[in-house]
Structure 1
Amino acid sequence: MEDDDASERKMRFLFQLRSRGVTDPRVLAAMERIDRGEFVRGQFAERAYDDMPLPIPCGQTISQPSVVGLMTQALETGPRDTVLEVGTGSGYQAAVLSGLVRRVYTVDRHRRLVTEAQALFDRLGLTNITAQVADGSRGLPDQAPFDRILVTAAAEDPPGPLLAQLKIGGIMVVPVGQSDAVQTLIRVRRGEDGFDYDELRQVRFVPLVEGLGQT
């Protein structure tokens, strides 16, 4: 009975994703493999498979699954790509990316979130993710350049240091706008002659904050 419930829950979860525009078969398969329930604890655990953002420690959130899927889809990842994620949070987005690319570097300003996410990656056997405490607005210059960059916090403009760490031909997906208003999800492509910007959809994310957190 438990297996039947889990199977039905997974089918409903994937249906929600498709109905909201997540259509890339590779992204859907990656999200089917990673159980969002592993990343939602405590009183919100029973809502883990609903298409809604949920609170996590340090005043942050785990994004709603359809937004995770749409952002991942917008990255147009390849299996040999190296990706930088800014804003580890629960670790869910990095875990989804880990099934699509060669290497994921994920950074967060909150040590607690990085420690808990790394423990979860280890337990799930996701060996191609490196999580570390860092000021995400500055990226990871020591590991740059990156094929893809995903920012899971809103900036007023795409951060210059992150744009500089994107390879020629690379893609960055970032929410842009005031933190207390609706933001726009932007896809940035770096070409030989500069950057091209596409507006994808309206979103709402926590703000991208410079410096390190206290926890």
Structure 2
Amino acid sequence: MEPAVLRDDMVDGLTSPPKEVLEDEAVALAMRDAPRHEFLDDERAAYADREHDALGTRVLSPSTVARLFEALSIEDGDSVLIVGAGVGYTAAIAAELTDETNVHAVDIARPLVALARENLGRAGYDAVLVDRRDGANGLPEYAPFDRILLEAAVVDPPRALLEQLAEDGRLVFPRGTQRQRLVSTTPEDERQGFDAVSFAPLLVEGEQSGAVERNRTEREDRERARKRLESRSGWEQEWIEWDRRVESGSN
């Protein structure tokens, strides 16, 4: 079956019962035009509404992609940053919604950056910029952005991303840890909630695939221990000082 027919079937399934997750006509058209099979190995499976794995990352299902872009609400001419380039498919959808020269994507994993560039080039989106960056730092050289899509779960969005939003910009991200909900926010922290979602947590340097250290719990434990020590006051601090005096006196 022709890929164009498979794409039409995919979008029809997203817009009609029982799913009905896609209402925005611009997003529907973008998903009908973007060749999803260029981003996955199996052409027929590419248009099934399910997730895939590639180089240690999760390729989002079409229904999840639809939810993201409905919340993002990209307008023609918007400058867009995708944090978590993955295989490049969401950057392709963004390029269909605005000029592809306005689409920027970053990923912390170098192999994924290379794969996304290759996929986007083959699919006809050569002008999309994909760079290897720590997503929490954004892409300040090209800021401000009208829309930022963070494809990783956080409790609160990184400050750098909020600072890189245009004055009337919008940042969409999965909020939470175990239980997550898609949320959009503005530079003034005006938030709007959407559907429940499930994303992997935002990685920092050292946690990406192939890095030497990937133990997120160990890193967070060190940070929490340091913060607890710095925040001690009152009787806790007095006991710490007393212990130190005793130790110094015993020497």
Answer yes or no: same fold by TM over 0.5. Answer: yes
The alignment yields a C-alpha RMSD, in angstroms, of: 1.6
Displacement of 1:45 in angstroms is 5.2
Within 5 A, what are the aligned runs for 1:93-104?
A: 93-102=90-99, 103-104=102-103
Counterpart amino acid of residue 49 in structure 1 = Y
Number of the residue aligned with 1:76: 73
Displacement of 1:125 in angstroms is 2.1
Displacement of 1:30 in angstroms is 0.6
Provide the secondary structure at the position in 1 that maps to 2:53: strand
CA distance in 1, matches of 2:39, 2:107: 16
Displacement of 1:167 in angstroms is 0.9
Number of the residue aligned with 2:190: 196
Displacement of 1:97 in angstroms is 0.5
Corresponding residue to 1:86 among 83, 104, 125: 83
Displacement of 1:142 in angstroms is 1.4
Number of the residue aligned with 1:48: 46
Gap regions ≥5 residues in structure 2: 211-251
Number of the residue aligned with 1:34: 34
Q: Name the structure where strand makes up a greater proportion of residues.
A: 1
Displacement of 1:182 in angstroms is 2.7
Within 5 A, what are the aligned runs for 1:49-64?
A: 49-57=47-55, 59-64=56-61
CA deviations over 1:73-120 (Å, ceiling 9, x no partner) = 211111111101000001000011001113111000111111111112
Number of the residue aligned with 1:120: 119
Counterpart amino acid of residue 17 in structure 1 = L
TM-score (norm 2): 0.76
Within 5 A, what are the aligned runs for 1:128-139?
A: 128-139=127-138
Number of the residue aligned with 1:154: 153
Gap change, CA 1:36 and 1:124, over 3 Å in 2: closer
Q: Which has the larger radius of gyration?
A: 2
1:10 aligns with 2:4: no
Counterpart amino acid of residue 18 in structure 1 = T
Counterpart amino acid of residue 38 in structure 2 = E
Counterpart amino acid of residue 55 in structure 1 = D
Within 5 A, what are the aligned runs for 1:136-215?
A: 136-178=135-177, 181-190=178-187, 194-211=188-205, 213=208, 215=210
Counting aligned pairs with the same residue, the percent is 34
Provide the secondary structure at the position in 2 that maps to 1:142: helix
CA contact (8 A) 2:182 2:193 kept: yes
Gap change, CA 1:30 and 1:7, over 3 Å in 2: closer
Q: Name the structure where helix makes up a greater proportion of residues.
A: 2
TM-score (norm 1): 0.89
Gap change, CA 1:108 and 1:140, over 3 Å in 2: same
Aligned pair count reads: 204
Provide the secondary structure at the position in 2 that maps to 1:131: strand
Counterpart amino acid of residue 35 in structure 2 = D
Runs of 4+ in 1 over 4 A off after TM superposition: none
CA deviations over 1:107-166 (Å, ceiling 9, x no partner) = 001111111111122222213310000000111111111111001111121111111111
